[in-house]
Structure 1
């Protein structure tokens, strides 16, 4: 057996370690589909890729066509794009389910918006921008109810108004409407909905997204009377979702903050959630 010099053994071992280390680095690098790929952090260089639901619903997106810029979230998305320096033609839309968007792992979008409430649990898997919308409390009723023609908070004071107990909706009845009969308490929104349908109560208070759903899909003759004046801390906050650790999170948050500061977010909410969706703010 030929004796191999010790110096050559050491060199061979060193080369093997180097090859293994390079292989490990290659296998752990993100795929090209990751939202953090590339030095820019964008999915596609020179483009802003935005995710939304499949389908996307009124009044958040009009006619399930986010590229139109019509609907509250579609308009917000293009406003953020503008703050980031992207022209409308450089925005690309992709679709995902709600659960896919907030699941851990790589994303095929730079940010996604479809009414994602910001929660600590979700923050473990994804990043959020600062909030672009805080839900308001909304009064709904049905055709034929005593509340059908109510136009103001004072019109509700003599009526029976209910909500699920222990919620911000229930608090809003007590603190903002202050009906003569007091807030009517129910164990769940389903119980309160049944009470509205049966005529046990005249109106129901829920958050705005729930109001759109109930009046559009659950209640025969459902009608939104209007939103109660916004009170900070009384509703869920919606944020743009990004991949966990995305290099874009800080930039996107700065864009949202700028839109809040200059009044754009409030203007868009008035245009698409109050006016277009027939959900005026009650006085």
Structure 2
């Protein structure tokens, strides 16, 4: 009986040890797979997955048919052809964009993505291709005429946007707002709708988006203040450390600009060529 009991114990121990080795091996393989996914250069892929906020007109947004369209969408397709890559667009939570990129879930952030020093710590940037300004938009009949007039007012912006960064960097002005801070929204469209409904007194937003939105909704309804929260440039976010792809990407972007394709895309969406040369 003692011998049988000992044999059973040894058998169970052997099984447990085998399972343990298997689990460690599986875990190791999973980790290697995850690391490989995050480490692979986009230049080695056949398809580039582009992350975007699908409400950001006119850069990348869903039209009435549910199709993702826009200036950046057309430009991305043109650059993809130069790189001989297929292009796929994936809607993401804009506040998680850098995490999605560096985890390997997307290959590029391309959607009116402003170049900032803080973002440079998280991603590689392409060369800039458009200029932009963070403007203050109110309704046409608003008494707000300057930044100082925002004191005591409800001011909104998109969460995770450079509009928020620009306001926060402008000294203590945010503390003067109603509630002592910005009212943030998942997307700019929601902020603009709250402005129209007079639940907000003003919003801080990309000028490119604001002017396109105002033209579509009726420019006479809105006012853009002369004062703003600073100028910036748009670039494409590429995974940190993937300098090989940055070089290839910039070469392809230069080709799209030099052959006139980028200018044609700009005229389609903005009625003029505003591409940075």
TM superposition score normalised by structure 2:
0.52
The 3 A distance-change label for structure 1 pair 58 and 33 is farther
User: Kindly tell me: are residues 98 and 32 of structure 1, through their superposed partners in 2, closer, same or farther at Cα, counting changes over 3 Å?
Assistant: same
Unaligned runs of 5+ in 2: 1-24, 149-172, 179-195, 197-203, 225-229
Task: Answer yes or no: is 1:34 the counterpart of 2:30.
Answer: no
2:231 is aligned to 235
Determine whether 1:116 maps to 2:116.
Answer: no
Does the aligned pair in 2 maintain the 1:140–1:222 contact within 8 Å?
Answer: no
In structure 2, the CA distance between the partners of 1:40 and 1:217, relative to structure 1 (3 Å rule), is closer
Instruction: Point out the structure with the larger helix share.
Output: 2
* Greater fraction strand: 2
Q: For this pair of structures, how many residues does the alignment match? A: 195
- CA apart distance, 1:57: 2.7
The normalised TM-score by structure 1 is: 0.51
Who is 1:131 aligned against? 128
Are the structure 2 counterparts of residues 221 and 70 from structure 1 closer, same or farther at C-alpha, using a change threshold of 3 Å? same
Counterparts of 1:63-212 in structure 2, within 5 Å, are 63-64=62-63, 70-86=69-85, 90-103=86-99, 105-135=102-132, 164=147, 208-209=207-208, 211-212=210-211
> How far does residue 100 in structure 1 lie from its aligned partner after superposition?
1.5
C-alpha RMSD of the superposition = 4.9
The question of whether the paired residues in 2 share the 8 Å contact of 1:132 and 1:265 is answered with: no
Gaps of 5+ in 1: 1-22, 146-160, 166-186, 192-196, 198-204, 226-233
Match of 2:51 in 1: 51
Contact kept? 1:132, 1:260, Cα under 8 Å: no
1:101 and 1:112 in contact (8 A); partners too:
yes
Give the Å deviation of 1:236.
Answer: 1.0
Report deviation, 1:251: 1.4
**CA shift in 2, pair 1:212/1:34, >3 Å:** farther
235, 238, 244: which one aligns with 2:240: 244
